Chain A
C-alpha cells in the first residue's frame, strides 16, 4: 500500500468515494479506499494538499467528513467531522498553519483548529460554488457562487470581506447580468483573481485597483464553465465546460489560444502542473486525461471506473512526468534552459535532469544539478542560475561523465 501510494503522481477523487492514485510512469491506477463497504454519501467533493511537501491529501466527503490520506504510508490517517449533509457539499478545503479551513454550499466558512475548538466562522452568503486559498498569502480566501459575487476574505479580520466584486453593467438589452461564479484562481506574483462563470464568462479582478468591476472579461463557448486552472507560464488560463470542451485563453487580450480535444463528458476537475506544461483533467466520462499544453496533444488517458470529481497533481515527481513528454520539448537542447524557477532542461543523454524547487526563486539563487535517475547518491553540483552557458556546460558534462 505504501509502495503504491509513493509511486502515484496524480490523485483523483471519484463519486463512489474512492480515492484513486495514478502512476503515470507505470501506467497504473490504484484504488485507496478505507473499507470494502462504500457508500454514495462518501462521495469526494473536494481535495487539497494537507501540507506544502504534498505528503498528505485532504478529502472532503459528501457526509461532512474530512479525511486525511498520507501518501507515504498509503492509509487514511485521520477523519474529522466538519459539517453534515444539511449544510450542503464542501466547496473548498484549505490548510493554514495547521488549521483547517472548510467551506460548504450554504455559505458557512469555518476555521478548525487542532484542538476541538473552532475559531472563526464566517457566513459568505448562500449558494457558494467554490472557495480557494491564495497560495502566496495563506490567510486570504476567495469565495463565489450562484448569485453570490466574488468576495475576498482575510481570516485574521473575519467580520467583513476585503473585496466584494461588483456586477458588470447591464447588457445591451438593459437587463441585469446574472452572477454565477463557478471557479476561482489566484494569479501568481500579482494581486489578481480569475473567475469563470456558469454563463460562459471568464473575468479577471484586481482587488488592489479602485474599480470593483472586472478588469478583463471574455466569453468562451455556450455552456457553463465548470473549472479553471492556471498553467506555469503566466497570462493564460485553461477552462473546461460541461460539454467536455477545454480551452486555453490568453489573459492579456482575452482571446482563445487553442482548444484541447478528447473529452466526451463534462469537465469536473482540472489542474495544471506548477512548472511543466502539463494539464490533468477528469470528468464525468470516467477518464483521467493528461495533456501537454505546448502542442495540446494527449499524453495519457486512464480509465477509472467511476465518475471523477476532483484531481490533484503532485509537483514533486517532476522527473517521472518529464520522461513522458519527449515530443513537446525540442529535439536539440537549447542551452541554457535554466530559468528563474529552475525548470528542467532536456538532454538526450540518459535522464540527466536538473531538479528545481517550486517556490519563487530570486535571480541570484542557485540551481542544483543531479545526475542519474532517482539515485540520491549522485554528485550534487550547485551552479548559479544566472551563470552563462559556457560556465554551466563543464559542470553538466562532469555530471554526465560521473554517471
Chain B
C-alpha cells in the first residue's frame, strides 16, 4: 500500500510533465481536485519546479541570443511597473491650457498665490488626545512655520471656524485620533476654502527615526510637490503649498517634501547640504507620515450639508490597479 501511495504521485507526475511539456492543450485535471493535502502539496511543488526550470531555460536562451548578436542586440525592454502601466487620466493638467490656468488662478488659493496673505495654521486634534497624537502635533508645529497648537476642548469645528477667520488664520488642521494613534487629518482652508479629509498612516515621530539630524530650526523650509498631475492632484498640491510661507529661507537648508505615488502622499522633512556641486547629503528630521485623500469638500468644514468636489468611493474607483486619481 505504501508503494502504491508513492507510485501514484509518480504516475500523475509523469502525466503532469508530459502535459506541461506539450502544453498546447489545457490540463484535464487541476491540483484542487486532489483531496490529500500532502499529495497535493507534492504536486504543487513539482509544478513550481517545472515552471522554474522552463523560465530558466527561456532566460538562458535569450541571454545566448543576446550575446550572439553582441553589439547589434536590441536594447533591453523597460520592465513594466504599475506607474508605467497607469491608465491615462483625462483630467491630467496640460500646462498650456488657458481655461485650467484661469480656473486655478482664480480659485480659493489665489489670495495666497498672489501674495496677499501669509499662512497661519491652527493645529488641533480630536477630543482628549493621547500622548502620541499630542507629540505629533507639537512636531508638526515645528515643521510648519507660524503654526499654533491648541487643545480641543470638545469644541465643535463649525464654531471654531468663524473664530479662526476673525483671528486671520488661513488653515485649520485637525488630527483625528483612534486607539491612541493619529489616523486622520482634516485640512480646512479658511476664508471659504476647500476642506480635505485624509487618512493618515505610518506616523513616525522624531524619536523613532534612525540617523536623524538635530531638531528643525525656525527657518522657513522649501517645499517640494512631486507627481501631482491631475486636476484634483493640482488642487491638493496647491493646498499643501499654501501651508508654508512664500519665501523659503535657503540659509536654513530645510525642505519639506510631499511625494505622491499611487494616490498615497508621503511627507518627509529633510535638511540637505551640498558637499560639492554634484553631491548632496541629506539627513531626515522631523516626523514622517503618509496621507491618502478621502474626500475634498467645497467650502469650509461641513460634512453633513457641504458639497463634495471629490469623494473616494472604494468600489467604483479602486476596481482597477492601474488607475489613480491624484
Q: How far is the CB of A48 from chain B (nearest CB, A)?
A: 22
Interface residues of A in 20-38 (CB under 8 A from B): 31, 36, 38
Is B317 on the interface with A (CB-CB < 8 A)? yes
User: B238 near A: Cβ within 8 Å?
Assistant: no
State whether A244 touches B311 (Cβ < 8 A). Answer: yes
A183-191, A261-269, A345-353: which one contacts chain B?
A261-269
Q: Tell whether B106 is near chain A: CB-to-CB under 8 Å.
A: yes
User: Smallest Cβ distance from B301 to chain A, in angstroms?
Assistant: 14
The answer, yes or no, to whether A307 is at the interface (CB within 8 Å) is yes
Q: Which residues of B contact A265 (CB under 8 A)?
A: 307-311
Known: A31-B99, A286-B91, A305-B103. A264 touches B310 (CB 8 A): yes
- Given A262-B316, A284-B298, A286-B91, CB of A16 within 8 Å of CB of B308: no
The residue from B99, B231, B311, B317 contacting A243, defined by CB atoms under 8 A apart = B311
Q: How far is the CA of A39 from the CA of B102 in the complex (A)?
A: 9
Bound: A226/B305 CA distance, A: 10
The answer on a CB contact under 8 Å between B311 and A264 is yes
* Given known A-B contacts A261-B316, A262-B316, A264-B317, A16 and B103 have beta carbons under 8 A apart: yes
List, in ascending order, chain B residues with CB within 8 A of A31's CB.
99
CA separation between A265 and B194, bound complex, in Å? Answer: 13
For A138, list chain B residues within 8 Å (CB).
none
C-alpha gap A262/B305 in the complex (Å): 21
Q: Which of B231, B298, B306, B310 contacts A305 (CB 8 A)?
A: B231
Report if B15 contacts A (CB, 8 A).
no
Contact of B99 among A16, A268, A284 (CB under 8 A): A16
**C-alpha gap A307/B316 in the complex (Å):** 21
Q: Is A198 engaged at the interface, CB distance under 8 Å to the other chain?
A: yes
Q: Is A40 an interface residue (CB 8 A)?
A: yes
Say whether B305 contacts A266, CB under 8 Å. Answer: no
Task: Please determine whether B99 and A305 come into contact, CB atoms closer than 8 angstroms.
Answer: yes
0/1 string, A237-267, CB within 8 A of B gives 1 = 0000011100000000000000001101110
* Set B304, B305, B309: member contacting A285, Cβ < 8 A: B309
Q: Tell me the total A-B contact number using a CB cutoff of 8 A.
A: 63
Q: What bracket does the count of chain A residues touching chain B fall in?
A: 20 to 34
Assembly CA distance A40 to B107 (angstroms): 9
Complex Cα distance, B298 from A268, in Å, reads: 13
Q: Which of A212-238 contact B (CB under 8 A)?
A: 222-224, 226
Interface string of A141-181 (1 = CB under 8 A from B): 00000000000000000000000000000000000000000
Cβ–Cβ < 8 Å partners of A36 in chain B: 98
Task: Knowing A18-B99, A264-B317, say if A284 contacts B305 (CB, 8 Å).
Answer: no
> Does A303 touch B at the CB level, under 8 Å?
yes
A284 to B102, CA, bound (A): 17
**Given A15, A223, A306, which contacts B304 in the complex, CB threshold below 8 Å?**
A223
Query: 8 Å CB contacts to A: which residues of B173-216?
Result: none
CB–CB A307/B309 < 8 A: yes
Per the bound structure, the CA–CA distance linking A15 and B308 in Å amounts to 15
User: How far does the Cβ of B12 sit from chain A's closest Cβ, in whole Å?
Assistant: 47
A82 CA to B187 CA, complexed, in Å: 39
Looking at B304, B307, B311, B316, the one whose CB has the most chain A CB atoms below 10 A away is B307
Q: Which residues of B contact A303 (CB under 8 A)?
A: 90-91
**Chain B residues near A223 (CB-CB < 8 A):** 304
Asked if B273 is at the interface of the complex by the 8 Å CB criterion, the answer is no
Contact partners of B231 in chain A: CB under 8 A: 286, 305
> How far, in whole Å, are A264 and B314 apart by their CA atoms in the complex?
11
Q: In the complex, which residues of chain A have a beta carbon less than 8 angstroms from the beta carbon of B98?
A: 36
- The complex places the Cα of A303 from the Cα of B99 at a distance, in Å, of 12
* A224 vs B302: C-alpha distance when bound (angstroms): 12
For B106, the closest partner residue in chain A by CB is A40
Least distance between B63 CB and chain A CB atoms (Å)? 46
B307 touches A284 (CB 8 A): yes
B157 adjacent to chain A (CB < 8 Å): no
Complex Cα gap A307–B311 (Å): 15
- B247 sits at the interface (CB 8 A): no
Contact yes or no, B99 A266, CB < 8 A? no
* Docked pose: A161 CA to B310 CA in angstroms: 40
B278 interface residue (CB < 8 Å to A): no
Q: How far is the CA of A19 from the CA of B99 in the complex (A)?
A: 12
B58 within 8 A of A: no
Chain B residues in 8 Å Cβ range of A285: 309-310
Beta-carbon nearest neighbor of B306 in chain A: A242
Is the CB–CB distance between B100 and A243 below 8 Å?
Answer: no
Q: Does B313 sit at the interface, judged by CB under 8 A?
A: yes
Q: Which residues of chain B in 93-147 are interfacial with respect to chain A, using CB atoms and an 8 Å cutoff?
A: 97-100, 102-103, 106
Nearest B residue to A15 via CB reads B103
Chain A neighbourhood of B106, CB < 8 A = 16, 39-40
The distance in angstroms between the C-alpha atoms of A258 and B50, with both chains bound, is 50
**Contact A305 B311, CB 8 Å, known A40-B106, A224-B305:** no
Which residues of chain B are within 8 angstroms of A286 by Cβ–Cβ distance?
Answer: 91, 231
Chain B residues closer than 8 Å to A243, beta-carbon distance: 308, 311
Residues 228-239 of B, flagged 1 when their CB comes within 8 A of A and 0 if not, give 000100000000
- In the bound complex, what is the Cα–Cα distance between A198 and B98 (angstroms)? 35
The answer for the CA separation of A31 and B97 in the assembled complex, in Å, is 13
Q: Which residues of A contact B (CB under 8 A)?
A: 15-16, 18, 31, 36, 38-40, 198, 222-224, 226, 242-244, 261-262, 264-266, 268, 284-286, 303, 305-307
* Known contacts A261-B313, A305-B99, then 18 further A-B pairs from the complex at CB < 8 Å, ordered by chain A residue: A16-B102, A38-B102, A222-B304, A242-B306, A242-B308, A243-B308, A244-B311, A265-B307, A265-B310, A266-B307, A284-B307, A284-B308, A286-B91, A286-B231, A303-B91, A305-B97, A305-B231, A307-B309
Q: List 21 A-B contacts (CB under 8 A).
A: A31-B99, A36-B98, A38-B102, A40-B106, A198-B305, A224-B304, A226-B307, A242-B305, A243-B311, A244-B313, A264-B311, A264-B313, A266-B298, A266-B307, A284-B308, A286-B91, A303-B90, A305-B103, A305-B231, A307-B103, A307-B309
Binding site for A on B (CB under 8 A): 90-91, 97-100, 102-103, 106, 231, 298, 304-311, 313, 316-317
Please provide the 7 A-B residue pairs with the shortest distance between their CB atoms, ordered closest to farther.
A266-B307, A284-B309, A242-B307, A303-B90, A305-B99, A265-B309, A305-B100
